[in-house]
């Protein structure tokens, strides 16, 4: 084996060629720029206008000071919005993994916006505003340590205030609900449990409630991208942890519903959260839909999405539009 000599302090040390090559490789790796959470989580773009606009909704943006970029969202305004001065309650929808704010994304029930519009016109649903959030594809709705992905900050501190300032909303928890599917189901529970003062209800479809260990097995890059591999940072803001930490503020204040298929591989995690809330005496509903898996199609769990909007409407303190608004 070839040997070389390295200066170590005041003496010399003989080391093998493999060790030298390893030291060179480590030095090169240290000099390479670390990929950002934005890159690793494949956010791609913070604004994604639909290729084919939906006539019932508009694609808009707001400026995120946290990320120094324009962020897109899709908004549905109810019949009568343009001809009245009323204020309307708002439901925020958090899309699942890989999805954006586009209204035809896989985490939106096919024809949902049309269903909302029809239900409102028929008097089956009170007029409301429906906002589809840009979830950043695979962010899990966390803030990353490197600051390139600030999903919690931008939704809670930037998007919601922007919607309230831009549109005639009922700008309080009395007229605000949050819902989501899969990754968005997890995100909706996380936000509702952490900020129960902001929302009157939460509905989570097939929520991806996997703990840190299970997430590392499914997606080994997730926690390293967000938190440099620190699993405790992922855990402390998870719905499972937040429901315990904030139980006194959640109990009796927030309407909670989880909808998941009996064949969904994520069911055990919803059952664990359900058991925790039973122990904590937090009122909630767990609806297990027989024969359905983690299915985003028209025959899957998302046929229940319109029903979830009625659930939100039932828990608005002001379910009807508030007349005489000046904005």
List pLDDT tens digits, range 76-128.
Answer: 999 999 999 999 999 999 999 888 898 877 767 778 899 999 999 999 999 99
What mean pLDDT do residues 149-167 have?
Answer: 97
Claim to verify: residue 77 and residue 190 sit in the same structural domain: yes
In a domain, 324, yes or no: no
Tokens of 173: 């928890």
Report pTM. Answer: 0.87
Claim to verify: residue 15 and residue 150 sit in the same structural domain: no
- The whole-number pLDDT of residue 296 equals 60
Claim to verify: residue 11 and residue 150 sit in the same structural domain: no
In a domain, 327, yes or no: no
- The whole-number pLDDT of residue 298 equals 63
Claim to verify: residue 12 and residue 138 sit in the same structural domain: no
Claim to verify: residue 233 and residue 300 sit in the same structural domain: yes
In CATH, what number is assigned to the domain containing residue 169? 3.40.50.1820
In a domain, 110, yes or no: yes
Claim to verify: residue 26 and residue 140 sit in the same structural domain: no
Claim to verify: residue 3 and residue 69 sit in the same structural domain: no
> Range of 17's domain?
1-32
Confidence of residue 303 (pLDDT cuts 50, 70, 90): confident
pLDDT (tens digit, 9 = 90+) per residue, 113-122? Answer: 999 999 999 9
- Domain total in the chain: 2
Claim to verify: residue 75 and residue 156 sit in the same structural domain: yes
Claim to verify: residue 13 and residue 98 sit in the same structural domain: no
Q: Does residue 214 register a pLDDT over 60?
A: yes
Claim to verify: residue 12 and residue 133 sit in the same structural domain: no
* Among 213, 207, 275, residue whose Cα is nearest residue 244: 275
In a domain, 325, yes or no: no
CB-based contacts of 206, cutoff 8 Å, min separation 6: 181, 182, 185, 259, 260, 261, 264, 266, 294, 301
Claim to verify: residue 11 and residue 102 sit in the same structural domain: no
- The whole-number pLDDT of residue 232 equals 94
**CA-to-CA distance for 96 and 105, rounded, in angstroms?**
9
What mean pLDDT do residues 284-299 have?
Answer: 85
Claim to verify: residue 111 and residue 45 sit in the same structural domain: yes
C-alpha angle 131/134/138, rounded to 5°? 140
């Amino acid at each position: 084996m070839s040997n070389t000599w390295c200066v170590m302090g005041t003496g010399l040390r003989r080391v093998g060629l493999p060790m030298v090559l390893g030291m060179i490789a480590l030095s090169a790796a240290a000099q390479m720029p670390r990929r950002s959470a934005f890159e690793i989580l494949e956010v791609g773009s913070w604004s994604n206008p639909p290729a084919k606009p939906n006539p019932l909704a508009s694609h808009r943006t707001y400026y995120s000071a946290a990320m120094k970029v324009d962020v897109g969202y899709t908004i549905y305004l109810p019949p009568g919005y343009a001809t009245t001065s009323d204020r309307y309650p708002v439901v925020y929808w958090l899309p699942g993994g890989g999805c954006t704010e586009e209204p035809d994304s896989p985490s939106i029930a096919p024809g949902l916006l049309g269903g909302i519009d029809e239900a409102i016109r028929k008097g089956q649903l009170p007029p409301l505003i429906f906002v589809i959030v840009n979830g950043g594809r695979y962010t899990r709705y966390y803030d990353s340590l490197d600051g390139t992905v600030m999903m919690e900050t931008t939704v809670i501190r930037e998007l919601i205030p922007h919607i309230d300032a831009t549109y005639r909303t009922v700008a309080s928890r009395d007229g605000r609900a949050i819902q989501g599917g899969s990754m968005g189901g997890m995100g909706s529970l996380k936000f509702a449990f952490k900020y129960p003062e902001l929302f009157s209800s939460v509905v989570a479809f097939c929520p991806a409630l996997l703990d840190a260990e299970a997430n590392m097995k499914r997606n080994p890059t997730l926690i390293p991208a967000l938190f440099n591999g620190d699993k405790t940072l992922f855990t402390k803001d998870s719905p499972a942890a937040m429901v315990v930490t904030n139980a006194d503020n959640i109990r009796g204040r927030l309407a909670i519903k989880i909808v998941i298929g009996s064949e969904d591989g994520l069911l055990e995690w919803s059952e664990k959260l359900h058991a925790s809330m039973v122990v904590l005496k937090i009122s909630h509903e767990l609806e297990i839909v027989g024969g359905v898996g983690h299915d985003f199609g028209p025959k899957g769990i998302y046929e229940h999405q319109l029903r979830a909007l009625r659930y939100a409407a039932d828990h608005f303190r002001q379910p009807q539009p508030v007349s005489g608004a000046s904005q």
